[in-house]
Amino acid sequence: MATTAQASQASKPIVSANGGGSPPNPFEIAQRQLDEAAAVLKLDPAIHELLRWPIRELHVTLPVKMDDGTTKIFHGFRVQYNDARGPTKGGIRFHPQETIDTVRALAAWMTWKTAVVDIPLGGGKGGIVCNPKEMSNGELERLSRAYIRQVGRILGLEKDVPAPDVYTTPQIMAWMADEFSFLKGYNEFGVITGKPLALGGSAGRNDATARGGIFTLREAAKVLNFPIKGAPMAVQGFGNAGQYAALLGEELLGCKLVAASDSRGGVYNPAGIDPHALIQHKEKTGSVIGYPGTKEISNEELLELDVPVLIPAALENVITAGNAGRIKARIVAELANGPTTPEADKILHERGVYVIPDFLCNAGGVTVSYFEMVQNAYDYYWDVEMVHERLDKKMTAAFHTVHQAAQQHGVHNRLAAYLVAVSRVAEAVQLRGWV
């Protein structure tokens, strides 16, 4: 890797789908995080500038027949951020507030995520601006197939492999895989991961993101000499990843869930909450609110509880310069993408809060998606024990590589994770002769 002049703070203006200015959008944050790593690595300015931007992105317009006979026009994106280390990989999001800058940021983070766990993939992401909660199954199927008809030309097992993300499901992945296979004229189920088992999905995929995060939490407790068994734990965001984190934190580490929240608010009981019962309550009522024996709290209050283990598993930018000084957790395990702002990172580091950064902590999902691609490629499938064992090995190795980089450079863990990931991608870029 070339190490010439100090990394440039690059050039192009941000094109924001949000229309403007005040709070930094996720892509600006992703670029700032890269800039900080590039300065420490003394990255070649040309490599740095290349890594600040997607290699390619596709914007599509999708006409879809609705159940009432009208045609509605949807807009979608697919961003392939960097493929120097292998085909790009990343989820597809269905969300009413989806923006190109969010998709760019997530594709960038996927690039660093695949590099930090050392799997031979690059980073990609996709999205459609829609509200799936207001759509029927038939409308969702027609939308999913329309997306693949437009984006399928840049997808493929050797090009770019999507997966589920926000408000997309294994069923949606099945429709997309079927549409792609129809366009190709042969089955290529490996073009999509996160599929149902009957169509070549992998055992162990459902809880992979949370399980990988719990493995890193276990390793963090070891390096900190922190007694994790019985430790109170708060989970902000009681969706798929948050629910599995609560279950596996108890099952694998003996942690005690004391608080959980969703978009409507949170619940707290210092004596402990049964995660199984809380999941059942949410399935019946639609929220954790009202769970018997708990006190109602806000999402903001949950973050500042006096608990040693905090798991943000919901939205980006929830830990900021404004509240970082009040975070009392010993370990923050980021299952969400981008929950901590760059300013908050510095405050938490100065206060001795040990952050397991998002693109390390939540890399279990893409790791098992990679395992799914491998299994699809040679048409032989592993049992769940083998998936768990190989995931544990990957996540543990990645955690210690990042922890050692943090100690060596005297930096916070997110910057350390960037140093590991960016150096690996930069090396591939240079070896391929791109710069």
Q: CA 40, CA 38: separation in Å to the nearest integer?
A: 6
In the predicted structure, residue 269 carries a pLDDT above the cut 90:
yes
Q: CA 132, CA 111: separation in Å to the nearest integer?
A: 27
25, with CB counted inside 10 A (0-12, 13-18, 19+), is buried
In the predicted structure, residue 361 carries a pLDDT above the cut 60:
yes
Of the candidate ranges 12-21, 207-216, 250-259, the one whose mean pLDDT is the lowest: 12-21
Residue 166's pLDDT band, with cuts at 50, 70 and 90, is: confident
In the predicted structure, residue 90 carries a pLDDT above the cut 70:
yes
In the predicted structure, residue 418 carries a pLDDT above the cut 60:
yes
Residue 21's pLDDT band, with cuts at 50, 70 and 90, is: very low
The secondary structure of residue 7, as a DSSP letter, is: P
The CATH homologous superfamily for domain 54-188 is: Leucine Dehydrogenase, chain A, domain 1 (3.40.50.10860)
Q: What is the pLDDT of residue 23?
A: 57
State the residue for tokens 């999913």: 144
The number of angstroms, rounded, from the C-alpha of 98 to the middle of its chain's C-alpha atoms is 15
Determine what percent of the chain falls in helix, strand and coil, rounding each to the nearest 5.
45, 15, 35
**208-361 has the same fold as 54-188:** yes
State the residue for tokens 């089955």: 187
Q: What is the pLDDT of residue 9?
A: 34
C-alpha distances out from residue 159 to 156, 162, 240, 413, Å: 5, 10, 28, 31
C-alpha distances out from residue 346 to 90, 141, 316, 340, 434, Å: 28, 44, 17, 10, 34
- Residue 434 in tokens: 């791109």
Instruction: Please provide residue 185's backbone torsions phi and psi, each rounded to the nearest 5 degrees.
Output: 90, 10
C-alpha distances out from residue 165 to 94, 106, 171, 216, 245, Å: 8, 11, 12, 21, 17
Look at residues 333, 247, 257, 240 and name the one whose alpha carbon lies nearest to residue 294.
Answer: 257
Per-domain boundaries in the chain: 1-51, 54-188, 208-361
Per-residue DSSP letters for 342-369? HHHHHHHHHTT-EEE-HHHHTTHHHHHH
β-pairing verdict for 88-95 and 331-333: unpaired
Q: CA 166, CA 338: separation in Å to the nearest integer?
A: 14
In the predicted structure, residue 266 carries a pLDDT above the cut 70:
yes
Q: What is the pLDDT of residue 315?
A: 81
Sheet strands (E) in 250-368 = 256-262, 265-268, 295-297, 309-312, 331-333, 354-356
In the predicted structure, residue 333 carries a pLDDT above the cut 90:
yes
Residue 321's pLDDT band, with cuts at 50, 70 and 90, is: very high
Residue 304's pLDDT band, with cuts at 50, 70 and 90, is: very high
β-pairing verdict for 295-297 and 265-268: antiparallel
In the predicted structure, residue 110 carries a pLDDT above the cut 80:
yes
Q: What is the pLDDT of residue 25?
A: 81
Helix-helix angle 413-431:100-116, to 10 degrees: 80
Q: What is the pLDDT of residue 338?
A: 84
Question: One of 89, 113, 125, 394 is an active-site residue; which one?
Answer: 125
Residue 201's pLDDT band, with cuts at 50, 70 and 90, is: very high
Q: CA 377, CA 157: separation in Å to the nearest integer?
A: 9
125 in catalytic set:
yes
Task: Return the number of other C-beta atoms located less than 10 Å from residue 375's C-beta.
Answer: 19
Residue 317's pLDDT band, with cuts at 50, 70 and 90, is: confident
In the predicted structure, residue 13 carries a pLDDT above the cut 60:
no
Sheet strands (E) in 214-338 = 232-236, 256-262, 265-268, 295-297, 309-312, 331-333
CA dihedral 288, 294, 297, 300 (to 10 degrees): -70
In the predicted structure, residue 354 carries a pLDDT above the cut 60:
yes
β-pairing verdict for 56-65 and 295-297: unpaired
Q: What is the pLDDT of residue 337?
A: 85
The number of angstroms, rounded, from the C-alpha of 142 to the middle of its chain's C-alpha atoms is 26
CATH number of 208-361: 3.40.50.720
Q: CA 288, CA 267: separation in Å to the nearest integer?
A: 7
| pTM of the full structure | 0.89
